[in-house]
């Protein structure tokens, strides 16, 4: 949709085919009776400049999110809040004044950030996040309280395999450039209504077409372009998920090596456990860290979406929770919430959504394909394509915008 909006803005007649009923892919609305849930809680950062720009382009007057300075609070643990000061002082002071960290832990975190800044957040050779933290003598307790949750939240990959360079890219872009980059942005409408639906309206208003429930089954080259869904197109931007891409390339013989690259990607899940408590249940913040065995973060949908009493618990990356049934997982998460929040009434209903391939696993040495392929006029967009960023809305958006700009500049 980022590519489609960028092309439509310049007067190009675009057509979008979407296999699903609801626009949004891995960031979409999931209907629960008359309640609009999401397939997962999405947190954006101020550094997501392209995503934020495009949301504002297609929905300029809408109040679509809650924006606040970086705040990390773990129940019974750490509390860190960035003051409104220029970067990097805002994050350095946030670390220095964090509660729930010992003085030694605070200085270790500060030292780590200052050393990375001196090295411009660049490694000569990539390594895992765990080994980078070990090289910099980060105390195990600090890793558990701060770095590991940040790594899992940002890369959706456990620190033992996660790419330290991508982790440093995220720290660089969100913490030390501009103050606003570290802002946390929580959507206050469902994810389909946040961007893809207003984007579709924007594209249609400029003569483009959006077809949902309309999968592309194959793509064939023909003179001056491609044939797909019995129509001729001069260019194709293939923006399906990485595990869905290879099948669509099978009639494009020049892309054999690309299919092999895609086959090597590993994936990480994300589970979201929605628990509807009576409307009086409310958290002190819209998002809190948890230190139970499974539950990692809890989001209060009453603050963001006026869905009173609805808590959404997020569990990112692979873990033992995958061996539990949904009923067992709900029971476990409910217990962990009780341990963290104190007495809670019984939940009225629950819904579990597990995205098995939420993101590619952002491991050391992962090979991400370029947006530009050996097949002329055929491009790839998506969070898995070459980027400084892990699999995020911003990586997906930037790749789409990049493909669109290339097409606009070369036709």
Ligand X SMILES: Cc1cc2nc3c(=O)[nH]c(=O)nc-3n(C[C@H](O)[C@H](O)[C@H](O)COP(=O)(O)OP(=O)(O)OC[C@H]3O[C@@H](n4cnc5c(N)ncnc54)[C@H](O)[C@@H]3O)c2cc1C
- Member of 126, 285, 355, 388 binding ligand X (CB under 6 A): 355
**Interacting residue with ligand X among 187, 392, 398, 404 (CB under 6 A):** 392
Cα angle 179, 26, 36; round to 5: 90
In 23-64, DSSP assigns E strands to 29-32, 35-38, 44-45
27 part of the interface to ligand X, by CB under 6 A:
yes
Q: How far is CA 32 from the centre of its chain?
A: 22
Interaction between residue 270 and ligand X (CB under 6 A): yes
Query: Of the candidates 32, 42, 136, 259, which one interacts with ligand X according to CB under 6 A?
Result: 42
Q: How far is the CB of 39 from ligand X (least distance, A)?
A: 6
> Smallest gap, in angstroms, from Cβ of residue 154 to ligand X?
9
**Pick 252 or 391: Cβ nearer ligand X:** 391
Q: How many CB atoms lie within 10 A of CB 232?
A: 11
| 77 contacts: CB under 8 Å, gap ≥ 6 | 100, 145, 289, 291
Residue 358 in contact with ligand X, rule: CB under 6 A: yes
Q: Which two tokens stand for residue 12?
A: 């190009």
For ligand X, the binding residue among 3, 4, 39, 332 (CB under 6 A) is: 39
Distance CA 153, CA 290 (A): 12
The window from 35-43, 58-66, 273-281, 342-350 that contacts ligand X (CB under 6 A) reads: 35-43
Asked if 45 and 396 touch (Cβ cutoff 8 Å), the reply is no
Residue 40 touches ligand X, criterion: CB under 6 A: yes
Distances (CA, A) of 406 to 255, 348, 383: 19, 51, 18
Task: Candidates 17, 321, 360, 378: give the one binding ligand X (CB under 6 A).
Answer: 17
CB nearer to ligand X: give 364 or 391: 391
Of 52-60, 79-87, 256-264, 392-400, the window that binds ligand X (rule: CB under 6 A) is 392-400
The answer to whether residues 299 and 73 touch, using CB atoms and an 8 Å cutoff, is no
- Point out which span in 234-242, 275-283, 296-304, 343-351 binds ligand X (CB under 6 A): 234-242
Give which of 89, 94, 187 is closest to 146, Cα–Cα. 94
Q: Residue 100 CB, nearest distance to ligand X (Å)?
A: 23
CA 25, 30, 36, 40 dihedral sign is: negative
Whether the CB-CB separation of 55 and 64 falls below 8 Å is answered with yes
218 binds ligand X (CB under 6 A): no
Q: Which of 3, 14, 25, 190 binds ligand X (CB under 6 A)?
A: 25
Q: Is 43 in the site for ligand X (CB under 6 A)?
A: yes
Binding site for ligand X (CB under 6 A): 17-20, 25-27, 39-40, 42-43, 215-216, 239-241, 244, 248, 270, 272, 355, 358-359, 382-383, 391-394, 396
């Amino acid at each position: 949709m980022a590519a489609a909006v960028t092309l439509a803005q310049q007067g190009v007649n675009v057509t979008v085919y979407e296999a699903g009923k609801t626009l949004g892919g891995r960031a979409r609305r999931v209907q629960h009776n008359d309640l609009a849930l999401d397939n997962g809680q999405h947190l954006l950062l101020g550094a997501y400049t392209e995503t934020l720009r495009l949301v504002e382009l297609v929905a300029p007057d809408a109040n679509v999110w809650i924006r606040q300075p970086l705040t990390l609070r773990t129940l019974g643990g750490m509390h860190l809040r960035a003051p409104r000061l220029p970067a990097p002082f805002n994050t350095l002071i946030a670390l220095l004044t964090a509660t729930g960290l010992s003085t030694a832990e605070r200085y270790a975190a500060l030292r780590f950030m200052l050393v990375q800044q001196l090295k411009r957040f660049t490694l000569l050779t990539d390594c895992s996040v765990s080994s980078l933290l070990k090289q910099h003598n980060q105390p195990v307790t600090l890793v558990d309280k701060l770095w590991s949750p940040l790594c899992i939240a940002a890369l959706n990959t456990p620190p033992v395999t996660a790419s330290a360079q991508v982790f440093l890219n995220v720290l660089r872009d969100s913490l030390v450039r501009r103050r606003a980059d570290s802002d946390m942005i929580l959507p206050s409408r469902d994810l389909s209504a946040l961007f893809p639906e207003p984007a579709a309206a924007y594209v249609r208003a400029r003569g483009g077409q959006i077809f949902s429930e309309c999968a592309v089954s194959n793509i064939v080259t023909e003179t001056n372009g491609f044939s797909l869904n019995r129509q001729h197109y001069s260019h194709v931007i293939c923006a399906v998920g990485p595990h869905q891409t290879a099948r669509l390339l099978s009639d494009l013989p020049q892309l054999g090596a690309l299919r092999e690259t895609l086959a090597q990607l590993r994936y990480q899940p994300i589970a979201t456990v929605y628990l509807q408590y009576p409307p009086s249940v409310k958290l002190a913040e819209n998002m809190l860290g948890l230190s139970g065995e499974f539950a990692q973060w809890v989001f209060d949908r009453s603050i963001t979406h006026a869905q009173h009493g609805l808590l959404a618990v997020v569990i990112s990356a692979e873990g033992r929770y995958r061996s539990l049934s949904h009923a067992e997982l709900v029971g476990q998460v409910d217990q962990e919430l009780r341990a963290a929040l104190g007495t809670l009434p019984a939940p009225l209903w629950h819904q579990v959504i597990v995205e098995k391939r939420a993101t590619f696993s952002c491991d050391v040495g992962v090979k991400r394909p370029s947006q530009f392929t050996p097949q002329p006029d055929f491009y790839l967009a998506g969070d898995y394509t070459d980027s400084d960023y892990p699999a995020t809305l911003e990586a997906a958006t930037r790749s789409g915008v990049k493909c669109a700009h290339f097409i606009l500049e070369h036709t």
